[in-house]
Structure 1
């Protein structure tokens, strides 16, 4: 069964580079950026792990915990982290799941037979503090993720949750937002005191 938006992210207990974790307990009240990569000591994966580490302050500012995964062992991960730190000029501290038996990769449908029967594709799951899956993205093995977009969608999800709004195409923090059609004009007066521009009855733009 596919893991859909709004589903509870499946829990698991597994070994990682920081020891055994229970996923839900480890996540706590934080958001989670859970992402898989095909294999340790490979070029694209090395740059992605390094970029995640370089953005540690950005994730922390958003109350987001990164969690990596590949179908390698914890020992292999630990050795690889030295290479990541050396080649990417970073200090990788977040845990990487050791999923040598593909248990979690199969649970999260990270293995796509058209790409590989044993290695995970580049899956992304953004999971909120209620353990709900809020966003998924899947990249092929040969293409690295866009981390600007990952941070943007986290900002968008958090903005929407906090302000009862929707976000337009290419939205960035500080841009105008959309008042959802489900909110009446009367309700909108209290939720959006700055007023709004009605482009169409179904398209009301406002600032927050």
Structure 2
């Protein structure tokens, strides 16, 4: 089971929930259309770590848009609170303190979605003693299937540059039969999956395959140039 997915496995169709947001009422699959999606949850509005995260997400929004990704946040507070908080987030970014962010924020005041998607952090509670939402990231493909989930506790802010890097890897490997190694960035060489027989590799990867020699003698560390 993928961490924080509330019973959802990678490859499962993501729930087609309905919710009120800062751009109105949505049905999730209709909201995504033919795009990729990144849904990221937050403990609540007007909190310090969340403000820094949404600020960074706003700064990176043009990069996600270039990759055909629709971003949407979730917090347990009301839409009205989201509008007020958006002013603070824009101000944190040294931008005009408007109510508009480059992505919608879902209101989940009854924690219905947080429960449905396994987002609650049992170790962190609000002033009323209620569990707050953990920092989940769900990446959904155009086929509406869950491609990745990450779960952080409420006390640890996420790295949105890493989420963007993950999107690049997911989109590349969805089209080409390659894998991306540790710390891979776009333009770096990629890896030939173990499922590709050695005799087929030279035909499948016209840029050539480099195999690293290992003490075991096994030829499984195979690299090739990133496909265009």
Q: What corresponds to 1:66 in structure 2?
A: 71
Given the alignment, which residue of 91, 100, 104 partners 2:109?
100
Aligned length: 208
Given the alignment, which residue of 170, 189, 214 partners 1:157?
170
Question: 2:83 aligned with 1:78, yes or no?
Answer: yes
Q: Please say if residues 121 and 141 of structure 1, whose CA atoms lie closer than 8 Å, have aligned partners that are also in contact.
A: yes
Q: Please say if residues 102 and 118 of structure 1, whose CA atoms lie closer than 8 Å, have aligned partners that are also in contact.
A: no
Q: Please say if residues 50 and 92 of structure 1, whose CA atoms lie closer than 8 Å, have aligned partners that are also in contact.
A: no
Q: What corresponds to 2:219 in structure 1?
A: 201
Q: How far does the alpha carbon of each residue in 1:76-100 deviate from its partner, in whole angstroms, 9 at most, with x for none?
A: 1111111111122346121100011
Given the alignment, which residue of 29, 32, 42 partners 1:27?
32
Given the alignment, which residue of 93, 96, 110 partners 2:119?
110
Note the C-alpha offset of 1:185.
3.0
Q: Please say if residues 30 and 64 of structure 1, whose CA atoms lie closer than 8 Å, have aligned partners that are also in contact.
A: yes
Question: 2:73 aligned with 1:55, yes or no?
Answer: no
SS of equivalent residue, structure 1 residue 36 = strand
Q: What corresponds to 1:171 in structure 2?
A: 184
Q: How far does the alpha carbon of each residue in 1:159-195 deviate from its partner, in whole angstroms, 9 at most, with x for none?
A: 1112110111111111111111112234333321111
Note the C-alpha offset of 1:48.
0.8
Note the C-alpha offset of 1:2.
1.8
Cα RMSD for the two superposed structures: 1.4
Structure 1 residue runs of 5 or longer lacking an equivalent are none
CA distance in 1 between partners of 2:101 and 2:27 (Å): 20
Structure number, greater radius of gyration: 2
CA distance in 1 between partners of 2:153 and 2:131 (Å): 14
Structure 2 residue runs of 5 or longer lacking an equivalent are 1-5, 213-217
Given the alignment, which residue of 41, 45, 51 partners 2:46?
41
Note the C-alpha offset of 1:203.
2.0
Q: TM-score, normalised by structure 1?
A: 0.94
Note the C-alpha offset of 1:152.
1.0
Q: Which moved more, 1:86-95 or 1:59-68?
A: 86-95
Q: Please say if residues 50 and 89 of structure 1, whose CA atoms lie closer than 8 Å, have aligned partners that are also in contact.
A: no
SS of equivalent residue, structure 1 residue 115 = strand
Q: How far does the alpha carbon of each residue in 1:36-66 deviate from its partner, in whole angstroms, 9 at most, with x for none?
A: 0001011111111111111111101111111
CA distance in 2 between partners of 1:113 and 1:28 (Å): 33
CA distance in 2 between partners of 1:89 and 1:133 (Å): 34
